[in-house]
Amino acid sequence: MAKTEIKLALVYRDMWQSAGKYVPRVDQLVRVAPAIVDMGCFHRVETNGGGFEQVNLLFGENPNTSVRQWTQAFNDAGIQTQMLERGLNGIRMSPVPADVRELMFKVKKLQGTDISRTFDGLNNPQNLALSFEYAKKGGMIAQGALSLTFSPLHTVDYYIDLADQYMDRGAEEICIKDMAGIGRPVSVGKIVAGIRKRHPSITIQYHGHSTPGFSIVSSLEAARAGADIVDVGMEPLSWGTGHADLLTVHAMLKDAGFSVADVNMSAYMEARKLSQEFIDDFLGYYINPQNRQMNSLLIGPGLPGGMMGSLMADLESNLKSINKYLTKNDKPNITQEDLLIKLFDEVEYVWPRMGYPPLVTPFSQYVKNVALFNVINLIKGKERWSIIDDNTWGMLLGKSGQLLGDLDPHLVKLAQEQGREFYTGNPQDLYPNQLDEYREKMKEKGWDTGQDDEELLEYAMHPRQYEDFKSGAAKERFLADLEQRKAKTETPSAQAPTTAAVASTTAASAHPRKYLIDVDGQSYRVSVSYDQQTEASTLEPREQTKTGTASQDESNLKVVSSPLEGKFYLTKDSSEKAIQVGDLVQKGDTIAYVESMKMVNAITSDEEGTVVEILKEHGQEIDEDEIILKLR
């Protein structure tokens, strides 16, 4: 009797995404690709999608070049390449216009990507219909991913029926996406068996993270129930928040009687060695050691491995802020482990109250961020739910599709108090086409739209990150940050800042400051800029105002501070007008934004008055409670 064949897919992109912040550079990816090909055991390799393009931009690299060069070796060898995309959100964290979504599939296929693994954070079939249509139109295989989670509402029958709905809307394959690894193995097997019974010939692929320890058993249960392909990771980035290891899964499946392609161990060791070299080069500075450990505590909150890299970085920075507050108020400090447990407990508290969204990108970030902000506020004696960013509100209000569960009455009341309206229509209708707008912007800037309009796609998909990439600001920030991390690791007791840190500080202080002053009753707007040799200022007379004199006591000024730390922005995009000295601010007005934990959070004023000084510059880092502007 012939053995049943099981194929293996290497999730090389997700391995890095689940471990830390960045992925290898294009020169590194090109070096490791031949070794992965020579391993001889993979029918598919996950090359891009998800955060891949965005993190390329963050360290100053063109993601289009990366995808084209990185996929080439697999295309030549006949190994299928696959990407991860987020349906309505495309390959970013917020909704994408339909014309941008359509261009994405066309471009990614032309760049060498064969399969689109499409998922929706709410498992909303309506949101995925266009992705399936556009993927097939662009020449890709449309794979629909069921985002597994464990709740009273997410049953085995729910997922079997969901697969039917995906296929009715055009999905050609089904992926069981166990992004947190909390799918119970027997249930995973029942889901696969149920889908296989209804659809004998469809390709089923199992993807599971190893974080709480279920995935190795789930891989076996999925294979026995009729899965065709199993996703695996490999050393040095298997296990932990990543995926079950290739060698373990391979040996297990062979022992269970399946036919699995042999592994060329010489090529395996070469790919392993190169991946470790990339970690030693710079990627290791962004990998928290705890992400290399499995953690059964995550069974409760169900947070996915793919976000644990950024989560640990968030906890590290927020812990400093919390302990600064506790020290200032003569209270005992807490450890990162204390904060982690508080966060896990709070996730379990807020998740059902937020309607049980599957904990997958971006909704896992939404739930985690709300939970973390709640923890921080509770520690500081404030109330829950006081910081909810606009994207999270969009999910709660139905702008990403209907939630499976009901919202907590407190959140419904809070939405009403803030004048927010619930939405029951098609989420895509809320986001009109934008390609023509971005094409015109590129023309004005003298930027080429690129081969197959791939640069246009990147700009429309990641506008702020793309502008920082083009200006060189992204690479400058990345290199400065990397230098600081290296210095901290190599000389942890050193007190002197690195050259890059000094340069960064000097550059920040060299930015012009703006003030509003009165001279003999005449109001002037003053811009002051500094460099190492000169100090210059300009006076611009303004209309007569009743703001007093320049010598007025500073104690009469009111301040607006940042409620969290992160990257400060005066505007979300170039179409928005930034607040200026002399503007009148009312309570509740949005005065700026802080990007924290992958979310752009609007900062509203809790004071009213006229802006007399803006202390932070667009793009600077900002600490929690740091003053943004002063009012009179």
Query: Could you report the per-residue pLDDT of 242-273, keeping only the tens digit for each?
Result: 999 999 999 999 999 999 999 999 999 999 99
- 488 and 527 both lie in a single domain: no
- Which of 430, 459, 487 finishes a domain? 430
- 422 and 516 both lie in a single domain: no
Residue 25 lies in a domain: no
Higher-pLDDT residue of 538, 137 = 137
- 574 and 627 both lie in a single domain: yes
- Residue 307's pLDDT band (boundaries 50, 70, 90)? low
Higher-pLDDT residue of 386, 162 = 162
Higher-pLDDT residue of 523, 489 = 489
- 614 and 542 both lie in a single domain: yes
Contact 182, 294 (CB under 8 A): no
- 355 and 401 both lie in a single domain: yes
- 306 and 369 both lie in a single domain: yes
What is the percentage of the chain residues whose pLDDT exceeds 70? 86
- 546 and 494 both lie in a single domain: no
Higher-pLDDT residue of 613, 447 = 447
DSSP codes of every residue in 582-615: T-EE-TT-EEEEEEETTEEEEEEPSS-EEEEEE-
Contact 36, 45 (CB under 8 A): yes
User: What is the C-alpha to C-alpha distance for residues 211 and 218, in angstroms, rounded to an integer?
Assistant: 13
- 497 and 440 both lie in a single domain: no
Residue 142 lies in a domain: no
| Residue 36, token pair as written in the block | 């992965």
Higher-pLDDT residue of 369, 361 = 369
Residue 150 lies in a domain: no
Give the pLDDT confidence score for residue 598 in this predicted structure.
58
**The dihedral sign for the CA sequence 231, 232, 237, 241:** positive
Cβ count near 32 (within 10 Å): 21
- 497 and 582 both lie in a single domain: no
Residue 548 lies in a domain: yes
* Average pLDDT in the chain: 86
Residue 283 lies in a domain: no
Higher-pLDDT residue of 508, 271 = 271
| Residues 29-43, mean pLDDT to the nearest whole number | 98
Paired residues of 44 in beta bridges:
9, 80
Residue 464 lies in a domain: yes
**Whole domain around residue 573: which residue ranges?**
511-631
Residue 559 lies in a domain: yes
Give the pLDDT confidence score for residue 98 in this predicted structure.
97
Number of domains in the chain: 4
- Residue 549's pLDDT band (boundaries 50, 70, 90)? very low
Paired residues of 22 in beta bridges:
none
Which pLDDT tens digit goes with each residue over 180-228? Answer: 888 999 999 999 999 999 999 999 999 999 988 999 999 999 999 999 9
Beta-strand ranges (E) seen in 162-286 are 173-178, 203-208, 229-232
Closest CA to 632 of 542, 581, 557: 557
- Which of 374, 409, 430 finishes a domain? 430
User: What is the C-alpha to C-alpha distance for residues 140 and 64, in angstroms, rounded to an integer?
Assistant: 17
Evaluate if residue 171 carries a pLDDT over 60: yes
Evaluate if residue 157 carries a pLDDT over 70: yes
Q: Given its phi and psi angles, is residue 356 left (phi above 0), alpha (psi -120 to 50 degrees) or beta?
A: left
- Which of 430, 461, 484 finishes a domain? 430
What is the percentage of the chain residues whose pLDDT exceeds 90? 58
- 479 and 422 both lie in a single domain: no
Angle at 317 between CA 316 and CA 318, to 5 degrees: 95
- Residue 597's pLDDT band (boundaries 50, 70, 90)? low
- Of these ranges, 293-302, 314-323, 467-476, 596-605, the one predicted with the greatest mean pLDDT is 467-476
Which residue type occupies 338? Answer: D
Residue 554: CATH number of its domain:
2.40.50.100
- 373 and 447 both lie in a single domain: no
Residue 448 lies in a domain: yes
- 561 and 519 both lie in a single domain: yes
Which pLDDT tens digit goes with each residue over 83-92? Answer: 999 999 999 9
- What is the chain's percent helix, strand, coil content, to nearest 5? 45, 20, 35
Give the pLDDT confidence score for residue 568 in this predicted structure.
85
